Homo-oligomer: A and B are copies of this chain.
Amino acid sequence: MSIKEVSRNKCFGGHVVKYEHGSDELNCDMKFNVFLPQQATKTKVPAIFFLSGLTCTEDNFIHKSGAMAEAAKHGIALIAPDTSPRGVSIEGDSDSWDCGTGAGFYVDATEEKWSKNYRMYSYIVEELYSIVTKQLPIDESRVSVMGHSMGGHGALTIHIKNPHKFKTASAFSPIANPINCPWGQKAFSNYLGSDKESWKQYDTVELLKASKNERMDILVDVGTADGFLEKELLIDQLKKTTQELGRESEWNIRYQSGYDHSYFFISTFIADHINHHATVLKSLEK
């Protein structure tokens, strides 16, 4: 699958490049942004996927996070995908902001209505991963994933399920237990149907309970003034699970006093997250 360059802007010595491509997984054209640090002109570089939250496109993170400052210092690429299929027409896909367009939830839909297009899990893990590691100067042995809110859920679940592809994860304000919150229940009912057992494969808390993964090393930040903290994110449930499993030391879950759900919060702690990934990815350098 070939990718087409849409735009290119120099930034911190490297470039932010927007690409467009036809997606086999999603049956539509998709766009994504990449920050390629200066080092990528000479050698393959490590990369962090950033999965965005509800209503976002491939642009929000690149425009608002301030991540390139720190990524450039470490010579790390950033991959910012879109959050759902685009330009497809499915009844009801634009009726609400928390299901359908802009709300793919990083699952492979099984309900017939959505299943032809809403395959964001395989799009990220297989197709886009393959595109960036084969067609861009990205070192496939040093790739990781982070995300925000719905994308924090995506990052954590994708890492736990694919630790050999995505070597570490971090999340801002993740939807940590979607099978037990309104956003997750709405999306999973629509995309996956009524069999709640099938939902567990996309739930961080459930995956963690079932996980035989080796030692994890994960950073999670959430703001104590986040309006979604109690009802949607369920970070306490995640923290409790790590404690029950004796894996508390593998999960650095930080409650940041007074911060909310916005990119002002993300920008404040993005350097910490890039540094977390840089440490893990650097240790994998051959």
A49-84: which have CB < 8 Å to B? 63-64, 66, 68-69
Known: A10-B258, A64-B64, A259-B10. A16 touches B69 (CB 8 A): no
Q: Are B66 and A63 in contact (CB under 8 A)?
A: no
Residues from chain B with a CB closer than 8 A to the CB of A267 are 11-12, 66, 68-69
Interface residues of A, dominant DSSP = mixed
CA distance A166 to B151 in the complex (A): 43
Whether A283 is near chain B, meaning CB under 8 Å from some CB there, is: no
A264 within 8 A of B: yes
> Per-residue CB proximity of A110-132 to B under 8 Å, as 1/0?
00000000000000000000000
Confirm or deny: A223 has a beta carbon within 8 angstroms of a beta carbon on chain B: yes
Q: How far is the CA of A10 from the CA of B64 in the complex (A)?
A: 15
A141 on interface, CB distance cutoff 8 Å: no
Give me 13 A-to-B residue pairs in the complex whose CB atoms sit less than 8 angstroms apart, sorted by A's number. Answer: A9-B260, A9-B262, A9-B265, A10-B258, A10-B264, A11-B264, A11-B265, A11-B267, A12-B267, A13-B268, A63-B63, A63-B64, A68-B264
Given contacts A63-B64, A64-B63, A66-B69, contact A264 B9 (CB under 8 A): yes
Q: How far is the CA of A69 from the CA of B263 in the complex (A)?
A: 13
Of the candidates B11, B225, B258, B264, the one whose C-beta lies within 8 Å of that of A268 is: B11
Q: Which residues of A approach B to under 8 Å, CB–CB?
A: 9-13, 16, 63-64, 66, 68-69, 223, 225, 258-260, 262-265, 267-268, 271
Q: How distant is A50 from chain B, measured CB to nearest CB, in Å?
A: 15
Q: In the assembly, what is the distance between CA of A11 and CA of B270, in Å?
A: 12
Give the shortest distance, in Å, between A262 (CB) and chain B (any CB).
5
Known: A9-B264, A10-B223. 13 other contacts (CB 8 A): A9-B262, A10-B225, A10-B259, A10-B265, A11-B267, A11-B268, A12-B267, A12-B268, A63-B63, A63-B64, A64-B64, A66-B66, A68-B267
